[in-house]
Amino acid sequence: MAPDVFDGERVLAFDLETTGVSTQYDRIVQLALIGADAEGGAIHYEELVNPRRPIPAGASRVHGIYDHDVRSKGGFSTVADAVAELIEGAIIVGHNVRKFDMAMLESEYLRLGKRAPKPKAIMDTYELVRRLKIGRPHGLGAQCTRHGIALKDAHTAAADAAASLLLFWKLSIDHAPSFRKSVEEIERWAVHGNVSSDSSDLGRGLTDLEPVDKLGKIRIDDGHMVLAFGRNKGRHLSEVQFEDPRYIQWLLSPKGIEDEEARERVKAYLAAL
């Protein structure tokens, strides 16, 4: 059972309700962070946010939040610091949380000219059910039904966050061997599958992989480009590009990859993702 890997960690289920599905242009209207701190103390943070624009009728029909519900609330700037303090360094659990909720959150911080908080790891239950080849549909409601989890008040941030945490717990019990890893290894496996590591018995080590550049800083692992040096050693470039774009900018400079031909090859690879 995986929850042992959470010992001593701040673990928070995270969910948003928004004005729409565009992570670049839509805005947050409700957010919830539910879980426990490193000592096991309960955390329940739930706030309505004024998006500073009308909430489309279609969105309101889904989550039940209307303009009059948020009229007296502050904008995202009023909750930004509290949310950042909770998320920074925490393990975040959620359903499709990496590509939607965290991406939406990052856009809100960018509008404020602030750096988005960086969790220690993201346990995305949508990625996990797909990696475990669990039958469709892969939506949160369907997966909760499949796994015997009651989802009341669906499409409210708190209910969906709590349900995703329960779903993670159920997956970790039903598929325990896949969760007997560190949180970083579980996350990497969920996103990319098994990644070769010099310190494991998964197969070839990084030094055995085909180099992209003359110094072997970047290597090819089953069609994926992997970093073979530095603080992101062993991680796929696609993963680092999402989480740490400034590092990728540095990597694509002469100070990062000295080999110009290799830099162009890496640029083409990232552009095709």
**Predicted pLDDT of residue 5:** 79
The DSSP result for 146-164, as a single string, is HTT----STTSHHHHHHHH
**What are the sequence ranges of the domains in the chain?**
2-186, 206-271
- Residue tagged 């700037």 (tokens): 77
- Residue tagged 């990084």 (tokens): 206
**Predicted pLDDT of residue 160:** 93
- pLDDT tens-digit readout, 68-80: 999 999 999 999 9
Task: Please state the three-class secondary structure of 48-59 as a single string.
Answer: ECCCCCCCCHHH
**How far is residue 96 from each of residues 101, 123, 206, measured CA to CA in Å?**
7, 9, 30
**Predicted pLDDT of residue 238:** 84
Assigned CATH topology for domain 2-186: Nucleotidyltransferase; domain 5 (3.30.420)
- Is 0.75 surpassed by the pTM of this model? no
Q: Which residues of the chain have pLDDT under 50?
A: 1, 196-203
**Predicted pLDDT of residue 166:** 95
3-state helix, strand, coil in the chain (%, to 5): 45, 15, 40
The DSSP result for 63-131, as a single string, is H---HHHHTTS--GGGTHHHHHHHHTTPEEEESSIIIIIHHHHHHHHHHTT-PPP--SEEEEHHHHHHH
**Predicted pLDDT of residue 205:** 66
